[in-house]
Amino acid sequence: MTKIKNNKQYDLEERTYQFAKQCRNYINKLPKTIPNIEYGKQLARSSGSQAANYIEANESLSKKDFSHRAKICRKEAKESRLWLRLSDPGDNESLKQERLDLIREALELTKIFSSIVTKSS
């Protein structure tokens, strides 16, 4: 039973890593407008932060610390969704679709972290 639980934790670590990596790739493709540059910087920070904080949550020293880190992950996932929504892919249809896919993933991660917070309280 414990082994399955650990595998799920590491799967979420990988999923948050992949999300941050996909956000980075998306940012690099955005048209270089002043708003996109600023929103891109914020997206890079928030998407990377949720991945890093989830790793820290898995190494937490207490249940309270784990819950706190999970709340930060949830907050950063919500922020990532905001920056994605504010970014402007221009007329590039494939970039628009990539943006929608990332928004969907940010929402799913938010729900996952909300569930973790609820269960850990």
Q: What is the pLDDT of residues 20-47, one digit of tens each?
A: 999 999 999 999 999 999 999 999 999 9
Average pLDDT on 82-98 reads: 97
Question: Domain range holding 79?
Answer: 2-120
Task: Give residues with Cβ within 8 angstroms of 88, minimum separation 6.
Answer: 30, 31, 33, 35, 36
Task: Give residues with Cβ within 8 angstroms of 23, minimum separation 6.
Answer: 43, 44, 47, 80, 84, 102
Give how many domains the chain has, as a whole number.
Answer: 1
How far apart (Å, rounded) are the C-alpha atoms in residues 9 and 41? 28
Mean pLDDT of the chain: 92
Domain harbouring 85, CATH code:
1.20.1440.60
Whether the predicted pLDDT of 2 surpasses 70: no
Q: Write phi, then psi, for 31 (nearest 5 degrees).
A: -60, 140
Instruction: Please give the pLDDT value at position 60.
Output: 87
Alpha-carbon radius of gyration of the chain: 15
Asked if residue 90 lies in contact with residue 31, where contact means CB atoms within 8 angstroms, the answer is yes
What digits encode the pLDDT tens for the residues 8-24?
A: 445 999 999 999 999 99
What digits encode the pLDDT tens for the residues 45-75?
A: 999 999 999 999 999 889 999 999 999 999 9
Q: Write phi, then psi, for 32 (nearest 5 degrees).
A: -85, 70
Of the candidates 37, 31, 22, the one whose C-alpha atom is nearest the C-alpha of residue 89 is: 31
